[in-house]
């Protein structure tokens, strides 16, 4: 979740800095005709995706795992 938030923040910051505009507030791929500077928009999205991927991989390598459980003791019969 933290990696996704960071990737979205990078994408948003780059879109604002590069000046890519869109005349529709939402619409996804259907609003692609209304993008200003679409190549800069695609570059900003790609940078956000790479940031998310790098942080996800990095954080998953830092995750600690529990030690393996000992094998069960054999059952004793009287």
pTM: 0.72
Tell whether 59 is covered by a domain.
yes
| Residue range of the domain that includes 55 | 38-63
Tell whether 19 is covered by a domain.
no
Q: 35 — phi, psi (to 5°)?
A: -85, 135
How many other CB atoms sit within 10 Å of the CB of residue 46?
A: 12
Tell whether 12 is covered by a domain.
no
Distance separating alpha carbons of residues 50 and 11, to the nearest angstrom: 10
Tell whether 53 is covered by a domain.
yes
Mean of pLDDT over the chain: 87
The total domain count for the chain is: 1
Give the pLDDT mean for 34-57. 92
Summarised one tens digit per residue, pLDDT across range 12-43 is: 999 999 988 887 777 777 888 888 888 998 99
The pLDDT value recorded for residue 45 is 92
Tell whether 58 is covered by a domain.
yes
43 torsion bin: left (phi>0), alpha (psi -120 to 50), beta (else): alpha
Distance separating alpha carbons of residues 56 and 16, to the nearest angstrom: 24
Residue 64 has pLDDT above 80, yes or no: no
């Amino acid at each position: 979740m933290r990696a996704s938030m960071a990737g979205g923040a990078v994408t948003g910051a780059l879109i604002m800095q590069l000046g890519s505009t869109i005349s529709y507030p939402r619409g996804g791929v259907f609003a692609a005709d209304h993008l200003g500077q679409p190549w800069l928009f695609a570059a900003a999205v790609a940078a956000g995706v790479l940031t998310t991927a790098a942080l996800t991989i990095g954080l998953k390598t830092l995750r600690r795992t529990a030690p393996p459980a000992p094998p069960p003791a054999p059952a004793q019969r009287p």
